[in-house]
Amino acid sequence: MQTSHEQFRDLAWKSGLAATHQRQVIYEAVMAAPGHYSPEQIYAAVRRQTPSISLATIYNNLRLFVEHGLLREVSPRTSTLLVEGNLEPHHHLVCTRCKAVQDIEGDFINYKKLSRQAPRGFDLTQPLVEVFGLCRRCSAEK
Amino acid sequence: MQTSHEQFRDLAWKSGLAATHQRQVIYEAVMAAPGHYSPEQIYAAVRRQTPSISLATIYNNLRLFVEHGLLREVSPRTSTLLVEGNLEPHHHLVCTRCKAVQDIEGDFINYKKLSRQAPRGFDLTQPLVEVFGLCRRCSAEK
DNA sequence: TTCTTGGATGAGAATCATTATAATCCAGGA
DNA sequence: TCCTGGATTATAATGATTCTCATCCAAGAA
């Protein structure tokens, strides 16, 4: 059985990333337990083992890990607030790379299955969804 | 037929909001054409008619309009980046009010219908979705 | 093993979006 | 028309994230 150090070195090598000590501990902090973590949370956890680490290093490497598919961004966020006047129920297609948002029509959600899976008390009246993918330009550039 | 001014005064009255000149022009700027608009874009458009308006007023009123259902927020955004190590395809349930994110299992997407609706060139390999609603706590507080 | 070098890191400044503050201002009821 | 509480303005403050640049180190070469 591989140690977690070896696992990371392996992944880093496959992604063409240098296996630095900082990257190791950041990666292990995220993988230690399932969950959604913010840069500040990871910073706090990692500093216990590596007090000299910089917050900028956390940000740099999280971005790198997400780009290389070692981690997933929980909720691809546009840089600014966006509002729309179209109140008709409709969905959005979001490019995970450039964050562009376009409307998408159509009924592709099985509401019965969805509400069966939702936790008790979660209000799904008018469930709107965002579908993630790569827009034409970004998928061409890749 | 109602003028757009009358339409807004009507909506404002129904929502219990004072119908100020600023609110009028902000609302009309968003409704002028279908699309997704940022506060800065709206600010730029509105300043042409009302040069003295403040950016803070744009932000205040967009938030107010969204809260009262006159406008919709395109993409409810968490305040900070969140990453996860779980790379298995799974979806997220997001509270539009407090922005809390939880995992949701299950296969409630009709991928065939979805890809039929997506524009040409949009890469939907591994389509992940976020479903919006109100978490138990927020739907109780409402 | 040591050497070399380009990429990685650390500290803090800078930037960007958004919110808070406090002094006017005005919509709408009396 | 007059009052009053909420709305607006200008600007400062905040919080998240990125940038800058001097220093450091991982990893291939010798």
CATH number for the domain harbouring residue B21: 1.10.10.10
For A123, nearest residue in chain B (alpha carbons): B134
- Quick check: A1 pLDDT over 60? no
Please check whether residue A54 lies inside any domain of the structure. yes
A-B Cβ pairs (cutoff 8 Å, strict): 216
Tell me the percentage of chain B whose pLDDT exceeds 70. Answer: 97
Q: How far apart are CA B90 and CA B128, in angstroms?
A: 7
In a domain, B97, yes or no: yes
Place of tokens 């598919």: A69
In chain A, % helix, strand, coil (3-state, to 5) comes to: 40, 20, 40
Q: Which of these three, A16, A32, A67, is where a domain ends?
A: A67
Å from the A54 CA to the D20 C1':
15
Is residue B12 located within the same domain as residue B61?
Answer: yes
- Of A67, A82, A104, the position where a domain reaches its end is A67
Which domain range does residue A116 map to?
91-141
Does the structure show a pLDDT above 90 at B7?
A: no
Q: What is the pLDDT of residues A75-123, one digit of tens each?
A: 989 999 999 999 999 999 999 999 999 999 989 999 999 999 999 999 9
Which nucleotide has the shortest C1'-to-CA distance from A78? C17
Name residues whose C-beta falls within 8 Å of residue A72's C-beta, 6 or more positions apart in sequence: A66, B83, B84, B85, B86, B87
Contacts of residue A29 in chain B, CB cutoff 8 Å?
none
Q: How confident is the model at residue B47 (pLDDT cuts 50, 70, 90)?
A: very high
**Domain assignment of residue B83, yes or no:** no
Q: Which residue of B has its CA nearest to A129?
A: B131
Indicate whether B85 belongs to any domain. no
Q: Does residue A80 lie in a domain region?
A: no
Cα(first)–Cα(last) distance of chain B, in Å?
Answer: 35
Is residue B40 a part of any domain in this protein? yes
CATH of the domain at A103: 3.30.1490.190
Shared domain for B53 and B101, answered yes or no, is no
Judging by beta carbons within 10 Å of its beta carbon (0-12, 13-18, 19+), is residue A41 exposed, middle or buried?
middle
Domain end position, chosen among B67, B99, B118: B67
Least confident of A12-26, B1-15, B68-82: B1-15
In tens, the pLDDT along B92-111 reads 999 999 999 999 988 999 99
Residues 6+ apart with CB under 8 A from B56: none
Q: How many domains does chain A have?
A: 2
**Mean pLDDT score of chain A:** 93
Question: Is B73 inside a domain boundary?
Answer: no
> Of residues 24 to 63 in chain B, which lie within 7 A of strand C by their beta carbon?
38-40, 55-56, 59, 63
Residue B142: pLDDT over 80: no
Contact (CB<8Å) B119/A136: yes
pLDDT band at B38 (very low <50, low <70, confident <90, very high): very high
Is B57 in the same domain as B99?
A: no
**Number of separate helices (H) and strands (E) present in chain A:** 6, 5
Q: Is residue B133 part of a domain?
A: yes
Same domain for A8 and A63, yes or no, is yes
Give Dmax over CA atoms of chain B in angstroms. Answer: 56
Residue B88, Cβ density class (10 Å: 0-12 exposed, 13-18 middle, ≥19 buried): exposed
B88 touches chain A (CB under 8 A): no
Of B135, B77, B33, B126, give the one whose Cα is nearest residue A132: B126
Alpha carbon of B25: minimum distance to chain A alpha carbons (Å): 14
Residue A89 distance to chain B (closest CA, Å): 10
Long-range CB pairs of A61-64, under 8 A, 24+ apart, other chains included: A61/A22, A61/A23, A61/A26, A61/A27, A62/A26, A62/B81, A62/B83, A64/A17
Give the residue among B80, B73, B78 at the shortest CA–CA distance from B93: B78
Q: What is the pLDDT of residues A9-51, one digit of tens each?
A: 999 999 999 999 999 999 999 999 999 999 999 999 999 999 9
